[in-house]
Amino acid sequence: MSEFRLDGKTAIVTGAGSGIGRAIAHRFARAGATLYCIDINREHAEETVRLIHDGCNTRAFARLCDVTDDAACKQAFGEIAAERPIHILVNSAGVSHIGRLDSTSEEDFDRLFRVNVKGVYLCMKTVIDPMKRSGGGVILNLASVAATAGLSDRFAYSMTKGAVLSMTLSVARDYLADKIRCNAISPARIHTPFVDAYLKQHYPGREEEMFAKLSNTQPIGRMGVPEEVASLALYLCSDAASFITGADIPLDGGFFNLHG
């Protein structure tokens, strides 16, 4: 299916060391892209690269970068741009938080804003000029159903994902003439290591019971898996989606339209 190939494209994936970011990096590599796997944990990024090299005959590189640090982003993206044109950026790096307004500390609020909002801002800002020089490109942001739905106990997380969605729309509008597309994916619950760690910490001995309860939040009766997000990401970043920009695509097992 050549329309979904990324041969000759250079893709940067943040948060590529685990979960959704790792799945996207691996899927893009299978589609022929040259991958730069960015993560705050070098070992995790290098493990993603090893997994790519084990299964794909493509180039992949690990880069250590704190996406909340302007200087670090400029250095990492500058080094990549000096090596080859940048065609795709996927902003997958993010952190979660459980809590309502009155149980969210200022420290937690600031932490989520730094990673989920400022991190996306800095990565997009740093990559815009290299993309212009490449004749265009694609930016894909990981938002969430929390951006547009009122979810219980997700105050700060929902705030950040709403900001990600708003930034996506602004960038899509402002860079039309530069042939830069910008879209967002809004997943519902995806089975990542965060879910397992959360259940182990808060429901020891009841992990299976609570996993089933959380899975049934989606009308389809299960959580999504990172590979499903990666498949949608591949489509949106491929030339097959060249008519799509400024879009927020739900990947939610029927959460919005079929819930209740």
Helices (H), the chain: 19-30, 42-55, 70-83, 106-112, 119-133, 155-174, 193-202, 207-215, 226-237, 255-258
- Average per-residue pLDDT in the chain? 94
pTM of the predicted protein model: 0.94
Span 85-110, pLDDT tens digits? 999 999 999 998 989 999 999 999 99
Closest by Cα among 123, 117, 161, 139 to 252: 161
Catalytic residues: 157
Closest by Cα among 87, 34, 85 to 237: 87
Name the more confident of 159 and 4: 159
Span 53-85, pLDDT tens digits? 998 889 999 999 999 999 999 999 999 999 999
Domains of the chain as residue ranges with CATH: 2-188+225-251 (3.40.50.720), 190-223 (no CATH)
Span 169-219, pLDDT tens digits? 999 999 999 999 999 999 999 888 778 887 887 788 898 888 888 888 888
